Structures are given as C-alpha cells and as structure tokens.
A and B are shown apart, each in its own frame.
Chain A
Amino acid sequence: GAGVSQSPSNKVTEKGKDVELRCDPISGHTALYWYRQSLGQGLEFLIYFQGNSAPDKSGLPSDRFSAERTGGSVSTLTIQRTQQEDSAVYLCASSSSGGSSYEQYFGPGTRLTVT
C-alpha cells in the first residue's frame, strides 16, 4: 500500500517568506507526527496529532511554526517569516495509534533551504 508522502520534496525560499509543507499519512493511521533533522543532528520532535485530540505542540521551536491536520488525514506545517536556522529536512510520520509502543512510518521528507 501507499506509504507516507510529503510535498514538496525540496523547497528553497528567501529569508522572511512563509512556507507550507504537506504530509499525507498512511490511510487509517490516527497519529501523525512532524520532526525535523538539521545538519548533523538527530530528529527533533515538533508536533503530534492523535485523532480528534488537541495536538501536542510542545516541540515547536517558536510561534512562527504552526501545523494543522484537516479531517484527521492530511497535515500542513507552516513556517512564517522563515529564518536561515529553519533550514533542515522536515519529516512527517504516522502510526496506527498514538502511545509509545506503536512504530512510526516516515515519509521521505521535505528539504527546506532558507537563503
């Protein structure tokens, strides 16, 4: 079956512009996560959606970052007024349920470059 898909695969933007990154999770997966990986770093948790519950936004680095998940499926991560330190690979993952013991399936990521 189809895995997690993300678009665009690459995005180059100028400092100060807004960007939107999209994630299509595996059909039927109720949990959706956003992570980012900066150069030479591990994956950093950003935000977590589980069903209809309020999202866990504890990992968002600043109020320039926001995310929404429409209809319990597709999610959009928005970065406003991008800065050079936002340059990273943004990864989306989904799992069949929330909680600590469910494997997460990752998309290929969106490489964001802020010039």
Chain B
Amino acid sequence: NAGVTQTPKFQVLKTGQSMTLQCAQDMNHEYMSWYRQDPGMGLRLIHYSVGAGITDQGEVPNGYNVSRSTTEDFPLRLLSAAPSQTSVYFCASRPRGAANTGELFFGEGSRLTVL
C-alpha cells in the first residue's frame, strides 16, 4: 500500500550542485505535482503534470525542471542549487477526473538544505 513515495527524505547540498528529487505513485494517477513549503508561505506549486509527456509550470517554477515519461514517476530536478531552494518539497497526485473532489495524495516530503 505504497501510495506516493518520495526519495530522498533528507538531503544537504552545496550551492551549485545538482540533484533530482524522486516521486513515484502506484495508484495510476494521471495528475502529479510538486510543491515547496516554506515558513509563512504555505505550499506553493512548482510544476504539475496531467499525464505522461505533459507538464506545465506552477507558481514558482524557476530553478526547477520536470519531466513525465511514465504515469508512475515525476522527478523534480534542481540544476544548480541555491540557498533559496532550501525547503520542504512535497509531491502529490490525484486521479485525472477528480478536480472537484480535490483529494490530493501527498508523499511524506523531502527536506532539502542548500548551504
């Protein structure tokens, strides 16, 4: 009963390093998304995808890349990490037609620190 799985749970990077946060879901959800959560800012949408091969930008996309080659996976790439990207990152998914029911299924989060 995995649901949405994020790895790694914790990561420390140096400024300028690159890394990929992994997100996988086993519920056959077509919609997947990435958020970052910062104190006083709430969760902010970074990128989302409505199906394999389709991605779009959210509220704060700069500094992040995504791709969606399979229904199950939606990795988030930081190409050159900056201290401003220190945050808690959440991946979330839902079935495609569930816009009105609203239930996003979240992973447990990935805590990233950029020094």
Is chain B a partner of chain A in the same complex?
no
